[in-house]
Amino acid sequence: MRSGWISSWILAGVVAWLFWPATSTADEYVLGVEDVVSISVYLHPELERTTVVDADGNITVPPVGLIKAAGFSTKQLGDKISDRLATYLRQTTSVTVTVSQYFSRSVYVQGAVASPDATASSAFRPSSR
């Protein structure tokens, strides 16, 4: 009984250590394939949307089309979308990108557990500070 409790704490510590540097703040999180992002464009609610990063690492943002998202932070992606929208909008605008669901990183649980499986890291969302 005691060894199960200890191994649970060790597993929790390892998982926290693995995800802490990558998710210390939302701006530092690097987007990956299958992450779900919400895009908000200041003063243009018609351009707001939620989209999934596709297998090629792209998202589609009307009216600009495909934009590479994988490998960029949410801040970098917001700046990139803002730059591309500048040709379509009369005034420059602020674009905010937030991660709705973190699916690009998974934790694999194996061994003497109730259900060995891959678990999406959506359970490990960064805390808002």
Question: Domains in the chain: how many in total?
Answer: 1
Domain of residue 113: give its range. 2-124
Any domain includes 77: yes
Is the entire prediction scored with pTM above 0.85? no
Q: What is the mean pLDDT of the chain?
A: 81
SS3 string of the chain? CHHHHHHHHHHHHHHHHHHCHHHCCHHHCECCCCCEEEEEECCCHHHCEEEECCCCCEEEECCCEEEECCCCEHHHHHHHHHHHHCCCCCCCCCEEEEEEECCCCEEEECCCCCCCEEEEHHHHCCCCC
Q: What is the CATH number of the domain that holds 19?
A: 3.30.1950.10
pLDDT digits (tens, 9 = 90+) for 8-35: 767 776 666 666 554 445 558 899 999 9
Any domain includes 129: no
